[in-house]
Chain A
């Protein structure tokens, strides 16, 4: 009997974006089960796959595969958030957030933030603060010192994630309180702030008091305080 290869072995799916790929085809390949993801980047792949499938289904995106190490899970999500926050940063930079209009990093009027990216913290304009903070987060999350492996992460390095969350969150709050239309547009396309807020709440990475963007339905309205 002749064996026809094509009938018995399905064609291997190559999950790769080739040069010249059309935008609508970007990352447009078949899902893979977590067990089959045979790489050190499996967790990232799993998260990105869930986002691609339905970015509004936050609960599913934040549900780890069984037996997943929690430190790695938090790390990979935060990495993904930082990557996607760059999208928001680009929109801010390309439109109305510039050093002349937003001279300081503020959310509500009450607090200003000094940018920690400098030897002596500086009162950077909001857009600079945004870029410096995302760059700083990328440096930290890719540093060999704290995160030499993406398979297991030391407890002392996991402890660093909370402060990265607190810092990058300010990009959301600045956008929300100062560039509301732009924020809403990006949020509608990504649910990024909703997902971030659910994430830091689920894993206790930020205190509720600091979550000043009222994005989730069960979040207490702090509108009154924001005007203080």
Chain B
């Protein structure tokens, strides 16, 4: 990876955007402000709505997976950054048996520091049965683990997952939010295949760019380039088809993908009404254009047929 720092910086951006939207009232997250300082930038309503749709839709799929497995499952967040999902799940009494976050060591060591020094974060990973074990970049507790590893180094990833006590026989959901796009497509394909080779019951939630072949996509690529940030994996983000195929051709039984415009319409409409009142939007077309360049992809393999194919965005 040419510029690790630039990719790492995308985490700060995303976390700041999330904090901004949380403070505007889009969703509730008592923990994000403990992870990242307040940014100075103002974010347009379509950005906030985009983050809202992103975190809400991922949460719907994740929660369905956790409930389906009756919490006897593992969550692995690839390139987790300052994600606060573990703490929110804990508050909702939906803690899985194991929750592992992986990112570059500079990110994980900062997150370890935040966790160690901020009581609301530390208290939630505490369990009377288990101590907290802490190194420069890694932290292990009873249910929550965070480890520093490069996702293209599968040997290192494997080792760190083992140190976290991952049990491959247990249903496991992998999440990546705008992560794979920074990795060359052949290398992310290897990662996707490694997971399907090693986890018989697995679900994958991938949120990232799509339809990147057009003018809008090119502008995005160029903008990021000026920040020394390269979308090496953009070839897999060509279409919904290519997004699904990276899974189905690498050992996953089936995959589904939706543009974020579609996702947005699938979300609970009462909530959508609520958030659309938070900030008024002049040109809905801007939002639709932005949303058409992001997608939610999910894939599964389900050797024991526990019902992973049922998981989607529909509301019961």
Residue A22 interfacial (CB < 8 Å):
no
Interface residues of A in 81-115 (CB under 8 A from B): 110-115
Chain A residues lying within 8 Å of B133, measured Cβ to Cβ, are 111-114
Chain B residues lying within 8 Å of A79, measured Cβ to Cβ, are none
CA distance A167 to B130 in the complex (A): 8
Task: Kindly identify which residue among A120, A133, A163 contacts B126, using a CB–CB cutoff of 8 Å.
Answer: A120
Residue B310 interfacial (CB < 8 Å):
no
Given contacts A120-B126, A209-B163, contact A114 B119 (CB under 8 A): no
A111 contacts B129, CB within 8 Å?
A: no
Residue A158 interfacial (CB < 8 Å):
no
Please, which residue of chain B has its CB at the minimum distance from the CB of A113?
B131
B122 contacts A121, CB within 8 Å?
A: yes
CA distance A163 to B128 in the complex (A): 10
Interface residues of A in 112-163 (CB under 8 A from B): 112-116, 119-121, 133, 160, 163
CA distance A94 to B129 in the complex (A): 28
A163 contacts B119, CB within 8 Å?
A: no
Interface residues of B in 117-148 (CB under 8 A from A): 119, 122-123, 126-136
B132 contacts A121, CB within 8 Å?
A: yes
A115 contacts B135, CB within 8 Å?
A: no
Chain B residues lying within 8 Å of A160, measured Cβ to Cβ, are 129
Chain A residues lying within 8 Å of B126, measured Cβ to Cβ, are 116, 119-121
Given contacts A119-B123, A120-B119, contact A114 B131 (CB under 8 A): yes
Chain A residues lying within 8 Å of B130, measured Cβ to Cβ, are 116, 163, 166-167
How many whole Å from A155's CB to the nearest CB in chain B?
A: 15
Please, which residue of chain A has its CB at the minimum distance from the CB of B120?
A120
A120 contacts B123, CB within 8 Å?
A: yes
Chain B residues lying within 8 Å of A112, measured Cβ to Cβ, are 133-135
Chain B residues lying within 8 Å of A133, measured Cβ to Cβ, are 131
- Of the four ranges (under 10, 10 to 19, 20 to 34, 35 or more), the interface on chain B belongs to 10 to 19
Main secondary structure of the interface of B (DSSP, over half): mixed
Chain A residues lying within 8 Å of B131, measured Cβ to Cβ, are 113-116, 121, 133, 166-167, 170
Chain B residues lying within 8 Å of A166, measured Cβ to Cβ, are 130-131
Chain A residues lying within 8 Å of B135, measured Cβ to Cβ, are 110-112
A163 contacts B129, CB within 8 Å?
A: yes
CA distance A171 to B162 in the complex (A): 24
Chain B residues lying within 8 Å of A113, measured Cβ to Cβ, are 131-134
Chain A residues lying within 8 Å of B122, measured Cβ to Cβ, are 114, 120-121
CA distance A132 to B127 in the complex (A): 15
Chain A residues lying within 8 Å of B162, measured Cβ to Cβ, are 209
How many whole Å from B156's CB to the nearest CB in chain A?
A: 14
Task: Kindly identify which residue among A114, A116, A167 contacts B134, using a CB–CB cutoff of 8 Å.
Answer: A114
Chain A residues lying within 8 Å of B127, measured Cβ to Cβ, are 116
Please, which residue of chain B has its CB at the minimum distance from the CB of A136?
B128
A116 contacts B123, CB within 8 Å?
A: no
B163 contacts A111, CB within 8 Å?
A: no
Chain B residues lying within 8 Å of A170, measured Cβ to Cβ, are 131
Would you give the 0/1 interface string for B159-171, flagging 1 where the beta carbon is closer than 8 Å to chain A?
Answer: 0001100000000
CA distance A110 to B123 in the complex (A): 23
Would you give the 0/1 interface string for A184-228, flagging 1 where the beta carbon is closer than 8 Å to chain B?
Answer: 000000000000000000000000010000000000000000000
CA distance A114 to B130 in the complex (A): 10
How many whole Å from A119's CB to the nearest CB in chain B?
A: 7
How many whole Å from A156's CB to the nearest CB in chain B?
A: 12
Chain B residues lying within 8 Å of A121, measured Cβ to Cβ, are 122, 126, 131-132
CA distance A167 to B162 in the complex (A): 19
How many whole Å from A121's CB to the nearest CB in chain B?
A: 5
CA distance A133 to B133 in the complex (A): 14
Please, which residue of chain A has its CB at the minimum distance from the CB of B128?
A116
CA distance A167 to B128 in the complex (A): 11
How many whole Å from A168's CB to the nearest CB in chain B?
A: 11
CA distance A112 to B134 in the complex (A): 5
How many whole Å from B243's CB to the nearest CB in chain A?
A: 37
Chain B residues lying within 8 Å of A111, measured Cβ to Cβ, are 133-135
CA distance A119 to B119 in the complex (A): 10
Chain B residues lying within 8 Å of A163, measured Cβ to Cβ, are 129-130
Please, which residue of chain B has its CB at the minimum distance from the CB of A104?
B134
Question: Looking at B130, B131, B135, B136, which has the most chain A CB atoms within 10 Å of its CB?
Answer: B131
How many whole Å from A89's CB to the nearest CB in chain B?
A: 17
Chain A residues lying within 8 Å of B136, measured Cβ to Cβ, are 110
CA distance A163 to B165 in the complex (A): 13
Please, which residue of chain A has its CB at the minimum distance from the CB of B123?
A120
Could you list 6 further interchain pairs (A-B, Cβ under 8 angstroms) beyond the known A111-B134, A121-B131? A112-B134, A114-B132, A114-B133, A116-B128, A133-B131, A163-B130
**Can you name 24 A-B residue pairings with CB atoms under 8 Å?**
A110-B135, A111-B133, A111-B134, A111-B135, A112-B135, A114-B116, A114-B122, A114-B131, A114-B133, A114-B134, A116-B127, A116-B129, A116-B130, A116-B131, A119-B123, A119-B126, A120-B122, A121-B122, A121-B132, A133-B131, A160-B129, A166-B130, A166-B131, A209-B162
The 7 A-B pairs of least Cβ separation, nearest first, read: A114-B132, A163-B129, A116-B131, A110-B135, A113-B131, A121-B132, A111-B135
